Amino acid sequence: MAATDHARRLAEVAALAAADKLAHDVVAIDVSERLPLTDCFVIASAPNERQVQAVVDSIEEKLRDSDVKPVRREGTQEARWVLLDFGDVVVHVFHSDERDFYGLERLWKDCPHLELPAEVGLPRSAE
């Protein structure tokens, strides 16, 4: 079963909010077939802790405007890998170094990527 329309909309809002704060390599992955706890991952990165926090704040603000609050947040203190769990969507905002090290996209490579609006931009590797 594919991700719900609601989860896809939330992933799109999160991705656009990340892009608004100049996050890099923003992708959304449909993990609903492999992970019963959530439908989508949104993954983004930023080059420093301050920008990671700005991306996180933007995502939370935009999803709050859609009446969605995180169930759990982790990593905000260090701002190297911040996880925002919105239930249907889990957002990972990485410092660029950590994203390369942990390679979540490699772990979930068999899952389909969701198409995101053009405003989100292309992944760094595809530019």
pLDDT digits (tens, 9 = 90+) for 16-70: 999 999 999 999 999 999 988 999 999 999 999 999 999 999 999 999 999 999 9
Long-range contacts of 117-121 (CB under 8 A, 24+ apart): 117/12, 117/15, 117/16, 119/16, 119/19, 120/15, 120/16, 120/18, 120/19, 120/26, 121/19, 121/26
Asked if residue 1 has pLDDT above 90, the reply is no
Boundaries of every domain in the chain: 5-120
Residue 120 pLDDT:
86
Asked if residue 3 has pLDDT above 90, the reply is no
Query: Rounded to whole angstroms, how far apart are CA atoms 95 and 93?
Result: 7
Lookup: tokens for 65: 């405007």
Asked if residue 7 has pLDDT above 60, the reply is yes
pLDDT band at 127 (very low <50, low <70, confident <90, very high): very low
The CATH class given to the 5-120 domain equals: alpha beta
% of residues, the chain, pLDDT over 90:
85
